[in-house]
């Protein structure tokens, strides 16, 4: 029987009376490399919070590394989860050295206080920073980092404690072309490592930022889905019976996972055309994905 690193069962999330996510189901097995894909505003970041034990569902259950979210003290297993996210970046002290921001992942804390680390810990942190092309940041301050530099510091931090579950939320945000390719190459090595039991979930809304080696995808869309009919795109958010004065004022349908499986059957031109609301042609070449409007 397959062991799950992450299991979401009938998850719903509500905020201010509005249903943001509904009927979300996902199983991520130990050692699997998943992409969580979907347009902006679909609820990916909300889902990431739950996967990382930093948010709770309104309904349904979330099991992380064998622990039921809300039933077990999250601090007893949070150090087994490596997280890189924009929200986490906002929690660091402004004068924190990026090297310390990486090494403090060993204790799952943000900001140095009374915790201590040895030279071996710092040597590992430096190796990670060199791997992602940011070794030069040692001795600087988090406040002074560009968005792309911050992104790579967060990835290094996420990897520092050799987590059993690695969650990378938009890991190429703010990177220029060179920085993006350096990062994607390193993440590709993680994706193609068949010897590791580490489960990885990489979150993105761009096909061209999916590293090699990731072979599962969960695609998020709106409840009810969209369709391509008679050559025309019909997104789910548009009710054909709604008057023109009402369009754009009604809350969108909740986000959910509309497909979970291999990338080749998930990233079809028809599926992504319906998802984004205009006709797209999906391209897969030399292990990388992309899409262009037709």
pLDDT tops 80 at residue 238: no
**pLDDT value of position 110:** 85
Which is nearest to 46 in space by CA: 73, 97, 11, 17? 11
pLDDT tops 70 at residue 246: no
pLDDT tops 90 at residue 134: yes
Give the list of residues 6+ apart from residue 15 with CB closer than 8 angstroms, or none.
Answer: none
pLDDT band at 228 (very low <50, low <70, confident <90, very high): very low
DSSP state of 2: P
Element (H, E) at 82: strand 81-84
- Mean pLDDT, the chain, integer: 89
Provide the β-strand partners of residue 203: 36, 169
pLDDT, tens digit (0-9, with 9 covering 90-100), for 247-291: 445 678 999 999 999 999 999 999 999 999 889 999 999 999 999
**Where do we find the tokens 């040692």?**
138
Residue 180, SS3 per DSSP = helix
Q: Identify the CATH number of the domain in which residue 202 sits.
A: 3.40.50.300
pLDDT tops 50 at residue 117: yes
**pLDDT value of position 219:** 97
Sign of the dihedral defined by the CA atoms of residues 272, 217, 6, 213, in that order: negative
Number of compact structural domains in the chain: 1
pLDDT tops 50 at residue 62: yes
Q: CB–CB of 61/11 below 8 Å?
A: yes
Sign of the dihedral defined by the CA atoms of residues 228, 229, 233, 237, in that order: negative
pLDDT, tens digit (0-9, with 9 covering 90-100), for 87-111: 888 999 999 999 999 999 998 888 8
**pLDDT value of position 242:** 43
Which residue range is the domain that position 159 belongs to? 4-293
Q: CB–CB of 206/214 below 8 Å?
A: no
Cα 22–chain centre separation: 18
Average pLDDT over residues 170-183: 91
pLDDT, tens digit (0-9, with 9 covering 90-100), for 265-276: 999 999 999 999
């Amino acid at each position: 029987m397959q062991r799950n690193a992450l299991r979401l069962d009938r998850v719903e999330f509500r905020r201010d009376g509005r249903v943001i996510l509904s009927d979300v189901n996902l199983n991520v097995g130990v050692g699997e490399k998943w992409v969580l894909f979907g347009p902006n505003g679909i609820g990916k970041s909300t889902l990431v919070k739950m996967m990382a034990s930093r948010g709770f569902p309104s309904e349904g259950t979330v099991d992380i590394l064998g622990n039921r979210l809300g039933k077990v003290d999250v601090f007893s297993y949070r150090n087994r989860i490596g997280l890189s996210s924009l929200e986490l970046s906002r929690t660091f002290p402004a004068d924190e050295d990026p090297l310390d921001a990486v090494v403090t992942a060993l204790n799952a804390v943000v900001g140095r206080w009374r915790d201590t680390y040895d030279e071996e810990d710092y040597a590992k942190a430096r190796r990670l920073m060199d791997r992602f092309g940011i070794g030069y940041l040692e001795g600087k301050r988090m406040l002074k980092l560009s968005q792309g530099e911050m992104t790579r510091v967060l990835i290094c931090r996420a990897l520092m404690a050799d987590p059993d579950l690695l969650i990378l939320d938009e890991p190429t945000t703010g990177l220029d072309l060179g920085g993006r390719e350096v990062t994607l190459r390193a993440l590709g090595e993680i994706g193609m490592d068949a010897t590791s039991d580490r489960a990885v979930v990489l979150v993105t809304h761009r096909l061209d930022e999916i590293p090699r080696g990731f072979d599962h995808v969960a695609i998020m869309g709106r409840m009810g889905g969209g369709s391509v009919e008679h050559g025309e795109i019909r997104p789910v958010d548009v009710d054909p019976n709604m008057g023109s004065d009402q369009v754009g004022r009604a809350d969108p349908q909740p986000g959910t996972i509309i497909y979970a499986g291999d990338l080749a059957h998930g990233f079809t031109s028809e599926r992504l055309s319906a998802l984004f609301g205009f006709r797209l042609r999906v391209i897969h070449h030399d292990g990388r994905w992309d899409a262009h409007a037709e």
